[in-house]
């Protein structure tokens, strides 16, 4: 018996909360949203299917995200999530220096410092950005085109897969510059690394290479992006040809001294070419396209639940603390970093600061002046 007599509404619905165009742009600083056609392994375009690219576009400041850029990322993931023709999302940055270096320290110091309620409202947006990645109804690939540091590391870890330029570095910077890695790193790092490595990466403010992070399973692949004399070479600043030396694991460690100097000279003669990185991104998207969409997303969401559990427990509490932290430590740390070109230093005098704390001094302006770097004499 036919059921053609049942009334049906066949007009396609638009499930977007907002179109989002007002939050995207092309001129830095901005978030760029674009849909690129799906291509097969031979480079042929597949009609009607796309990859959504969300790109942090602020290369002059290492793709640090401004308040408006955060809104653009949220709008990008919301739109990609509800787009029927999108297979996967690629999250990346502009240029060859950085995927993202975190929040914009100029904005943090000049506007948000000593305005705790304003920063708490900003953190609502930041939390919404992380949520938009974790809630996206498409697999999310972080295309790490350069440093993934501080808040950039945190939003990058919210993605499902990460393929990296082998010139990228990874790490947290908060305790060096007046904050803490509580925008996702303390929630996500223990899921990727051993607790000892998570601790070290989370608060010691060391930068680790892409090869080291690949060996520790934080990322899927580290891919050469430097060309010398027309041939791809691995990042010469990193040890990749030796695993153990004198009983210590050295694979993925950064070279030092004369070796590092020689490596930098080699890099100066190279050109950047991201074609192999992009080919790997396209290969992953193609593989996703040839799987059942609903089954893929159920698998992804089920694994994301482990990340989201710890993230959801802490994000509101950390919002409150981060706002109050803007009154002192973040005020000092972000200003020291954002004025480094004027002072020649990017941190406060930590020992003087600790001595003031040890003496029980009130954190009045005289103490702040003592520990802050001074402008260079002209």
CA distance 38 to 86: 9
Measure the N-to-C terminal CA separation of the chain; round to a whole number of Å. Answer: 90
Residue ranges covered by each domain of the chain: 21-225+274-325, 226-273, 346-378
CA distance 370 to 378: 20
At residue 1, the pLDDT reads: 60
At residue 8, the pLDDT reads: 86
> pLDDT (tens digit, 9 = 90+) per residue, 112-145?
999 999 999 999 999 999 999 999 999 999 999 9
Task: Name, in order, each residue with C-beta under 8 angstroms of 342's C-beta and a sequence gap of 6 or more.
Answer: 375, 376
Q: Check pLDDT > 80 for residue 63.
A: yes
Placement of tokens 């580290």 in the chain: 222
The pTM assigned to this predicted structure is 0.95
Exposed / middle / buried, residue 203 (Cβ in 10 Å: 0-12, 13-18, 19+): middle
CA distance 300 to 297: 5
At residue 86, the pLDDT reads: 98
Average pLDDT value for residue range 362-366: 93
At residue 368, the pLDDT reads: 94
The overall average pLDDT reported for the chain is: 96
> pLDDT (tens digit, 9 = 90+) per residue, 203-243?
999 999 999 999 999 999 999 999 999 999 999 999 999 99
Looking at domain 21-225+274-325, its CATH class is alpha beta
> pLDDT (tens digit, 9 = 90+) per residue, 74-95?
999 999 999 999 999 999 999 9
> pLDDT (tens digit, 9 = 90+) per residue, 264-302?
999 999 999 999 999 999 999 999 999 999 999 999 999
At residue 17, the pLDDT reads: 81
């Amino acid at each position: 018996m036919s059921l053609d007599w049942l009334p049906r509404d066949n007009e396609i619905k638009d499930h977007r909360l907002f179109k989002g165009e007002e939050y995207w742009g092309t001129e830095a600083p901005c978030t760029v949203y674009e849909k690129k056609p799906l291509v097969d392994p031979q480079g042929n375009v597949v009609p009607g299917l796309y990859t959504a690219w969300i790109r942090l576009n602020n290369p002059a400041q290492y793709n640090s995200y401004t308040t408006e850029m955060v809104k653009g990322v949220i709008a990008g993931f919301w739109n990609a999530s509800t787009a029927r023709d999108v297979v996967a999302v690629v999250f990346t940055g502009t240029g060859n220096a950085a995927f993202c270096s975190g929040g914009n320290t100029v904005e943090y110091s000049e506007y948000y410092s000593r305005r705790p309620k304003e920063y708490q409202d900003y953190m609502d947006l930041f939390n919404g950005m992380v949520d938009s990645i974790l809630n996206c109804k498409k697999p999310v690939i972080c295309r790490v085109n350069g440093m993934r540091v501080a808040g950039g590391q945190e939003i990058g870890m919210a993605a499902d897969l990460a393929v990296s330029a082998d010139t990228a570095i990874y790490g947290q910077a908060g305790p060096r510059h007046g904050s803490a890695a509580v925008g996702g790193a303390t929630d996500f790092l223990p899921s990727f690394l051993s607790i000892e490595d998570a601790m070290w990466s989370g608060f010691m403010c060391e930068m680790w290479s892409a090869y080291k992070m690949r060996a520790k399973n934080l990322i899927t692949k580290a891919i050469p992006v430097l060309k010398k004399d027309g041939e791809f070479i691995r990042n010469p600043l990193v040890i990749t040809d030796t695993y153990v030396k004198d009983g210590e694991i050295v694979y993925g460690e950064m070279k030092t001294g004369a070796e590092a100097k020689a490596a930098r000279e080699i890099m100066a003669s190279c050109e950047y070419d991201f074609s192999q990185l992009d080919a790997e991104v396209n290969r992953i998207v193609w593989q996703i396209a040839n799987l059942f969409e609903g089954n893929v997303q159920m698998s992804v969401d089920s694994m994301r639940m482990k990340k989201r559990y710890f993230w959801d427990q802490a994000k509101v509490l950390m919002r409150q603390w981060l706002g109050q932290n803007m009154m002192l430590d973040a005020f000092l740390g972000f200003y020291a970093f954002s004025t480094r070109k004027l002072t020649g230093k990017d941190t406060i005098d930590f020992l003087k600061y600790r001595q003031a704390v040890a003496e029980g001094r009130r954190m009045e302006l005289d103490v702040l002046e003592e520990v802050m770097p001074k402008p260079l004499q002209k």
